[in-house]
Structure 1
């Protein structure tokens, strides 16, 4: 069976003459992974070793396992390993683990694999590493490209999860999909396993299957990848809330009970000693000028969330026939930065900056600018003809136009404040209507 399945492009002998094991870097029930060096060029690889013969008597927690049970498990692992070799030979993509060579000796089978040194995505998630939106976008795009390549070869992974996704190098975001043991060709008569995968990541059509004669397709991988996207996306929401909290802390700490705007105000408040302790009124005084920061943060996160949320819904679609494909997902507006500004193009308003010189940012490829409050505007010298887009999702997205001009001069700060307050209220109202 071994030679029949592995005869294509397999070096039958000579492993120990070509490779030198340096140290063991991983171990499974029946497999071991070694950091190995190719003697010819000192290149490092990960070598997975699987014994062809084994003593089937093992002990765990003082209890002897039944030989029959271990034999069954051994042959299942052997079957998965052969399946993985067959699939990896059909794949060649930077986001999929690369198989270089396979050796078969009298005692073992050796898979020479790409060495991945960045650890697993699971380890990063477990350590509560918080990724920025652009980092998440880069990682999800890479995974989708790898999955799209698999699907173009009619191969389903069927066990996409953070544990099976590795970083190629430390401190980099290049992800590599590995462990194709449960993978299978989509168009074969009988799957190796029909209902398989890891609970929490399995597509509904796979985990709920009862008739094992019914086939599913590559769409199951998109659902699993959607779950991974959801996990990373939730960290983005957390980061957003953390930023809000930091702004509130900055505004509330070290503040006087007499928050006057000028010397006369402070003097009068001090004389009256009228300190307000009640919640809302106290916060209103303490948060003076804070709303501009908060509003602009709401706007910046809105652009991130809106597109990501739409893609997420399409990837986690319960009906596999309606679920987005990997190819179409890569064409989604979430990965398109040309129309709306990215998070890096939207800066938090600095309340200490002059009122007459708000931060103006030019969007890519458009004759548009964004002011400190995050509103789209067409720039005309020192005045603005404003076009404001209501932040709602889907077909209900409405375009509201204003032709009101505003001269930003030092002598009309009250008008400017009232104008910004009015727009901020509209934005806040619309943001609250987004259903997540």
Structure 2
């Protein structure tokens, strides 16, 4: 499943109508969650019936397209099903009990409630919310795909405007020439990654670079009166800055992963539990700023697109073991050079990258991919939470 995103251009009244549609979808989802809480043994069909009663009871719900209401029900049931799944698996800690949404930012239509123009540059929403026709600002060309292949249309509200996403069912594979190369990657905080050949990719630290500006914008928000128009403007400026940083991090991970995959046939990396690593409050900000999750996600995605093999291996002792003789050489995080009695002296991360590559060849780790429709490199719900249900991928023209 591919996602093509355009910026939707319209008038202020249309933007208000989009916000109303988003709030209505949030209302339906929360009502379904409440219905599940109050009634034992409620399933997805019962939630669909409850949605029908909501449309009969509330006129503003009826004004929203019926398929958009159904997707809100599906979102509610997915959180319920995930909670039950976590309970069955006896996952330690919180099980993800369904919560009410307070600030939803999207509403999703299926195959009805919208209509594309002949040149595929405008989209008209035909339900009674009054959204009307929006211009599509973007570079992707939807004329390459049949209308029947567009399975979902999603309206998203972000700090810098409103976006229209098209979820298209299409193949996204590219045949490439084999390189005959294999590489192991050790991600870090000092360097973004170090490979088994000794190459180091610098860590851009986008959040750290923008932290001073973020602090200034946050103070501007704090100094404005609650509920005032100036406070809303300050909040929007702060949100735009956060959005820019997140986009920079995502784009860097995407470009770096694409380069790594196209240059190698085998790519091995650590099967890190990011969720557990960020519990260390001394390193949580730096780990989140590095974007290891995004990098791994795009490695596995491009692995399938270009027909390459991506392998996630157990990271245990990869930094402590000598890549030359296999002896365990204990070292703290502050020790950046690996020195073994066999005479091997290497940078700590370079040594770990070599061990990761050797481990991948010896055990094959978890072989797989993140791309939608294919098996993942990790067990679902254990390490990269939500990886299978996400369908936001790049365009095949990239």
Task: Report which of the two structures shows the higher radius of gyration computed on alpha carbons.
Answer: 1
Q: RCO higher in 1 or 2 (8 Å CA, sep ≥ 6)?
A: 2
TM-score w.r.t. length of structure 2: 0.28
TM-score w.r.t. length of structure 1? 0.26
